[in-house]
Amino acid sequence: MRKTATIALSIFVFISVNTFAQKTQILIARNSVGKLQLSILNKEDNTKQLDPVKEGLKAIESAENDKKTKDWAETWAIKSYLNSYAAIIETDANASQSFYNTAVDAVKQARKLDRYDDNSGLIKASDHNLLIKKQDIGNQYFVDNDFKLAFTNLKEVSDNFPADTTLALNTAICAINLQMYTDAMTYFKRAVENGIRNPAVYQKMAQIYSAKFDDKTALATLEEGLALNPQNIVLTNDYINLLIDVANYPKALALINGQIKATQGDKLLYYLVGYLEQATGNKSNAILSYNQALEKDPNYFDAMYQLGLAFIEAGNNELKSSDPNKNEKYKSFINRAEIALEHANEIDPNSKNCVQLLIDIYTRKNELDKVQELESKLREF
C-alpha cells in the first residue's frame, strides 16, 4: 500500500510541475508584452523592440503546444499581438510578411476562444497593427499598379480609418483604375467630408458625374472645388468647358473674361471668347477675339479656321439684310474668309473641313481650277 501511494504522489507532482511550467511560459509572454510596451514608450529602435517580441514568442510557442494552454484565448491573443507588431517594425520584407500571416491566423483563433472578452485589448491592438501593415501592403500594390489587390487592402483600412483623407484618395484612385466608379465616388466623398482640398479630387468627381449625364451636380462639384482652390486653372478650364457643353454661354464668357483680366490672357482664352461670341451670333466680337488669339500665335489653326468661318457667316448674314450695299459687303467678308482659310490650310493641310470651305468659296467665285485642285486633294485623304 505504501508503494502505491508513493507512485500516485509522484504522478501528481509531475502533473503539477508541468502545469506550473506552462503557466510560467504564459507569465513570461505577458512580461514580454510589458517589456515591449516600455520599449515603445522609450522610443527604442526597432532592433531593441524585437528582443521582447522574440522572447515572448518563444514562450508562446511552448504554451500553444501544451494541451491545456493551447486552448487559452490569452495564448493566441499574445501571439497575435506580438506577431502583428513585429510585422510593422521588421525591416526584412519576407520576415515581416511571415509575422503578418501568423498574426492573421492567431487573431482569428484568439477571437474564437475569447468568449468573455477577457483579451479584447490585445485583440483590438492586434487588429490595429494588422491594419497598419495592410496599408503598407496596399500601398506597395498601388506602386506596382496592381490596383485590384491595392483596392482590396486599402478599402478595408480606409473603412477603419475614415478620417485619413490620403488613404481615402488612394482607395478612390484604385477604384477609378478598375472602372469601379460607384466605389470611387464613395471614397472621394469620404475624402471631401474629412476636409481634403486637393483640386484633382473635385475634378475626378465632376468627371464621374458628367459621365453619368449629371451635369448639374458636376457643375456644383467644380464650383465647390473652385471655392477651396480659387483661380485653379485646371478646375476653371473644366468648369468653363462644362458650361459650354450645357450651353451656358453667358456664365462661361464671364469666367473667361475674368481670367483674361487676371492673367492678361493667352491664345486659348481669346479663342474661347471668340467661339462663344460666334455661337451667340456676335460675329464682330468673335472676329475681334480670334484676331487677338492670332496676335498671340499667328499659326494658331483653330483660331484661323474659326475666323474664316466667322467671315463666311457674316457674309451670309449680309445677303439676308436690306442694306443696298449688301453685295459689296458680302464680297468683302468672303474675300477675308478666303485669306484666313488659305492660311489655315497652310498651317494644317490635312483639315478636310478647311479644304471643303475653300472649295465652297472658290465655287462661288467661279475659280474652277482651284476647285478641281482641292477636290483632287480631298480624294487623297
Q: Distance between CA 15 and CA 24 in Å, rounded?
A: 14
Q: Distance between CA 277 and CA 213 in Å, rounded?
A: 26
Phi-psi region of 354 (alpha: psi -120 to 50; beta: other; left: phi over 0): alpha
Q: Tell me the pTM.
A: 0.77
Q: Find where cell 492673367 sits.
A: 263
Confidence of residue 28 (pLDDT cuts 50, 70, 90): very high
Other C-beta atoms lying within 10 Å of the C-beta of residue 305: 22
The residue ranking higher by pLDDT, 248 or 20, is 248
Each domain of the chain, given as residue ranges in start order, spans 21-144, 267-381
pLDDT at 231 over 90: no
C-alpha cell at 116: 468573455
What DSSP designation does 119 have?
T
pLDDT at 4 over 50: no
C-alpha cell at 148: 485590384
First to last CA, the chain: 116
pLDDT averaged over every residue in the chain? 91
Q: Name the 3-class secondary structure at 198.
A: coil
Please state the length of the chain: 381
Q: Name the 3-class secondary structure at 345.
A: helix
Q: Find where cell 509575422 sits.
A: 99
pLDDT at 181: 97
Nearest partner of 330 among 312, 343, 356, judged by Cα: 312
The residue ranking higher by pLDDT, 24 or 99, is 99
The answer to which of 92-106, 140-154, 322-336 has the lowest mean pLDDT is 322-336
Q: Which CATH architecture has domain 267-381?
A: Alpha Horseshoe (1.25)
Which residues make Cβ contacts (< 8 Å) with residue 149, sequence separation at least 6? 138, 141
Reported as a single tens digit per residue, the pLDDT across 70-116 is 999 999 999 999 999 999 999 999 999 999 999 999 999 999 999 99
Reported as a single tens digit per residue, the pLDDT across 32-72 is 999 999 999 999 999 999 999 999 999 999 999 998 899 99
pLDDT at 21: 52
Q: Distance between CA 241 and CA 306 in Å, rounded?
A: 18
pLDDT at 16 over 70: no
**Which stretch of DSSP H or E encloses residue 275?**
helix 267-279
The residue ranking higher by pLDDT, 379 or 12, is 379
pLDDT at 222: 98
Q: Kindly provide the b/e burial profile for residues 82-95, where b requires at least 16 CB atoms within 10 angstroms of the residue's own CB.
A: bbbbbbbbbeeeee
Confidence of residue 261 (pLDDT cuts 50, 70, 90): confident
Counting DSSP H helices and E strands in the chain, the numbers are 18, 0
pLDDT at 8: 37
Reported as a single tens digit per residue, the pLDDT across 170-223 is 999 999 999 999 999 999 999 999 999 999 999 999 999 999 999 999 999 999
CB 319 within 8 Å of CB 302: no
Q: Name the 3-class secondary structure at 337.
A: helix
What DSSP designation does 18 have?
H
- Phi, psi dihedrals of residue 126, rounded to the nearest 5°: -65, -45
Q: C-alpha angle with apex 36: 32 to 41, nearest 5 degrees?
A: 150
